A and B are shown apart, each in its own frame.
Chain A
Amino acid sequence: MSAPAVPSGTDFGISIDDVDLSDRTFWAQPPEVKHAVLDLLRAESPFAYFAEPVIPYLPVGPGYRAVTRYADLEAISCRPDLFSSGAGAVSIQDMPPDLNEFYGSLISMDDPRHAKIRRIVAKAFTPKILQGLVGSVQAVAEDVVAHARRTAAEGDGTIDVVADIAAPVPLRVICDLMGVPEEDRAMVLQQSNVILSGGDPELIESEDNAVAAFLQAGELLAGLMTRMAVERRARPTEDLTTALVNAEVDGERLTDQEIASFFILLLVAGNETTRNAISQGVLALSEHPDQRDRWAADPGLDRTAVEEIVRWTSPITWMRRTSTQEVELSGQTFPAGTKFLLFYAAANRDPAVFADPHRFNLGRDPNPHVGFGSKGPHFCLGAHLARREIAVTFRTLFEHLPDLEVVGPPDRLQSSFVNGLKRLPARLAR
């Protein structure tokens, strides 16, 4: 079977001189255009230099290198001593250190602090503990899907895959895990959207207000978490918040500030990423009906299918590292302080690693994708949870909404960092 033809950048009339990865509108384009450009960069300029986007009130830094080859990305990831996260992993600009740690938590932290906190929280994310959550993820997925069915029946037969399926599943799982009260959940969804908006104009009213909106969202979420931490210390429950307030490593506990930061990390990293994998998985299956039928008929395909959806969508487009000293990569030398953006979306389509990289193949095996991050201490803490949620959600969709049909083009988030959909219109035929 031949792969669908994917044009290269030059087929779109794109020359490397025209490419600007810092232009937000570039990221709202269809995936085939973005991948054509990333292919071009990987082949012709694997450490391409870009100037930084201008954000009001933040100083403009020296620019960054776009890392697009799998091998280079892995080489950087597995040397955290040479390539630091502490200067900021989730923003191109250097943020003030306190803001950076508050919003990035573990993601924007280096060892030894990173190792210490990761050990505390890792206890709550072992495969065994998550195995115990299978039932609750299943119950959440079934409830969400039943609600989507009612929404379609009571309306004109249409639903929005994002708002009605992909967003509520991970949000409810994370909120259940943490023990967030029902009445606070709408606020949690709204504020986590603001933090991960990437400045998308629909989610942040004005770019001038972006920093203020970020701060306010963080305050609201931190306020909720601080309140919950106090309550759990007084009345422990079975939830993750209780585990976090009580967890100790080397006699040290997390502070309220650290718990609040970790909560924000869970919301943004564990919520939106899974949402975007599910919504774009639905889209990919509608574009590849043969793959959809194959998976629906064979639960044995769950393991490889989930990995392929994560590779295909690469929900987080990049993370940043900053060199701590002069470094050499593939024979090129870069000075200390160089910013590197690790483009997971590009590495996940690197033909040096993946045969037929632009072919969506749910049976792909092995599939050493870097959708959960590459090697190194920052590998996704929630990978098992995400895999579980994606597998359970699709199995539930196959069983309860086999008539789901995507009926309109997706509305894409204008963000270079998060590969997301804002809306995906669908119809339930029954």
Chain B
Amino acid sequence: MTRVEVDRDRCISSGVCEHLAPEAFELDDDGVLQLLPAEPDPAVVAEAVRACPSGALTLADRAH
């Protein structure tokens, strides 16, 4: 499966990822991005990573 990594220094809490894939991403009450435990559609997650305006999201293949 694919795994998403967040660069906290780059994230601007734009919410674009949550807009595209609310099952995978959520901004908490402090506006900090949380990755949700669900296993969403990889294509949707890939689109969210591509669309992230701050370039804070990257896809990483999980080793196991």
Contacts and interface: CB of A to CB of B under 8 A. Distances in A.
B61 interface: no
B13 A119 contact: yes
A381 B31 CA distance: 12
B54 A122 contact: no
A347 to B, nearest CB: 14
A115 interface: yes
Nearest to B50: A368
A376 interface: yes
A357 interface: no
Interface string B1-27: 000000001101111101100100011
Q: Looking at chain B's contact residues, is the secondary structure mostly helix, strand, loop, or mixed?
A: loop
Interface residues of A, number: 22
Interface stretch (A23-31, A123-131, A233-241): A123-131
B34 to A, nearest CB: 11
Given A119-B12, A126-B31, A384-B19, 8 more contacts: A118-B13, A126-B27, A127-B19, A128-B26, A128-B27, A375-B52, A376-B54, A377-B10
Contact of A383 (B10, B16, B54): B16
Given A123-B31, A373-B53, A377-B54, A115 B15 contact: no
Interface string A235-272: 00000000000000000000000000000000000000
Interface string B30-64: 11000000000000000100011111000000000
Nearest to A372: B53
Given A375-B55, A377-B54, A126 B13 contact: yes
Given A368-B51, A373-B53, A379 B27 contact: no
Contact of B27 (A115, A127, A374): A127
A59 B22 CA distance: 49
A78 B30 CA distance: 25
Contacts of B13: 118-119, 122-123, 125-126
A379 B19 contact: no
Interface of B: 9-10, 12-16, 18-19, 22, 26-27, 29-31, 47, 51-55
B53 A379 contact: yes
B27 A377 contact: no
B51 A115 contact: no
Contacts of B15: 125-127, 383-384
A379 B14 contact: yes
Contacts of B22: 127
Contacts of B52: 375
Contacts of A379: 12, 14, 16, 53-54
Given A122-B31, A123-B30, A123-B31, A377 B12 contact: yes
A143 to B, nearest CB: 27
Contacts of B27: 126-128
Contacts of B9: 115
Contacts of A387: 19
Highest count of chain B CB atoms <10 Å: which of A78, A122, A374, A387: A122
Contacts of A127: 15, 18-19, 22, 27
Nearest to A130: B15
Given A123-B30, A126-B13, A376 B53 contact: yes
Interface in A345-402: 366, 368, 373-377, 379, 381, 383-384, 387
7 contacts: A115-B9, A118-B12, A119-B12, A123-B13, A128-B29, A379-B12, A383-B19
Contacts of A368: 51
Q: Can you list the 7 inter-chain pairs with the closest CB atoms, starting with the nearest?
A: A379-B53, A122-B13, A123-B31, A126-B27, A122-B31, A127-B15, A127-B18
Contact of A122 (B12, B18, B19, B53): B12
Nearest to B56: A377
Contacts of A123: 13, 29-31
Nearest to A114: B12
A384 B12 CA distance: 14
A383 B12 contact: no
Interface string A125-163: 111100000000000000000000000000000000000
A107 to B, nearest CB: 13
